[in-house]
Amino acid sequence: MTNTWRLGDLTVNRIGFGAMRLTGSAAFGEGVPADRERSIAVLRRAIELGVNHIDTAAFYFSPHLSANELIREALAPYPDDLVITTKVWPGRDASGAWWWAAPEQLRGQVEDNLRGLGRDHLDVVNLRVPPSRKDGPIGEHVAALAALREAGLIRHLGISNVTVRQLDEARAITPVVCVQNPFGIGAPATERELLRTCGELGVAYVPFFAIAGAGREAGATAAEPDEVLAVARAHDATPAQVRLAWTLHQGAHVLAIPGTGDPGHLAENVAAGNLRLSGEEVARLTALGAS
């Protein structure tokens, strides 16, 4: 199992880091607020452990902390090999209320990320498609981001929360280096099809909620299927590590971006990249979501 993949001309280690939980125990200001120094320490430790792919967004903020500003404070001047991906289309105003950008508003969202991160360009920007679009057209937004890439504000484009048809639509307009969708043990057949399609195209597939599953932004639930627990015991690993390892076993083009504000969980997540499951174990876990 290879340990790296590419996002366009950028090579990243397959275990990355998601920044959503840097600002608190739950996303978007819910839960217990994070400690600034601890979050900064987690980011620096991630780099020490070999992470060179960080996923973030300007809308990852709480009343007291911004993920992008934490990343800048912790890591700037940035290592040459560090790839920072972000996402646009959704946004939050100062009160935390959500809004969705029109195509002509995407430049403002890109510039918000540039300011927060202290950069003159963004490595990868994912167009995060709203649930209301489901399998609807996304071409106008994709074209707007492609224009920003031509202007030098963005190096590569990805898409998020999409279908195979939307991937085809986007690729007809501009190169797409990654697809970022919810995926993990128990994922539906349609999502497994998209993962396979990305592999055939050489497009990175970047699952989120690989550990949390149905818990989504709230995090992993306490209950785990017996099959996950059995594999964890066999490898002296945690269920979260098993879920991450299973995800990486789905293809060399699959990346992982587990997020945490806990130094111990960070080390466990990175170590999951070295966990080798047998073919029988992978099949047994895959069967949990067979449909």
Q: Which residues are catalytic?
A: 60
Cβ atoms of 275 and 246 within 8 Å: the answer is no
Of 283, 249, 211, the closest CA to residue 14 belongs to 249
CB atoms within 10 A of CB 79: 10
**d(Cα 234, Cα 148) in Å, to the nearest integer?**
49
| CA-based max dimension of the chain | 53
DSSP string computed for the chain = --SEEEETTEEEESB-EE-GGGGBSSGGG-SSBPPHHHHHHHHHHHHHTT--EEE--TT-B-SS-BHHHHHHHHHPSPPTT-EEEEEESEEE-TT--EEE--GGGHHHHHHHHHHHHT-SSEEEEEEE--GGGTTS--HHHHHHHHHHHHTTSEEEEEEES--HHHHHHHHTTS---EEE-B--TT--HHHHHHHHHHHHHT-EE--BSTTTGGGGGG---S---HHHHHHHHHTT--HHHHHHHHHHTT-TTB-B--B-S-HHHHHHHHHGGG----HHHHHHHHGGG--
**d(Cα 248, Cα 230) in Å, to the nearest integer?**
19
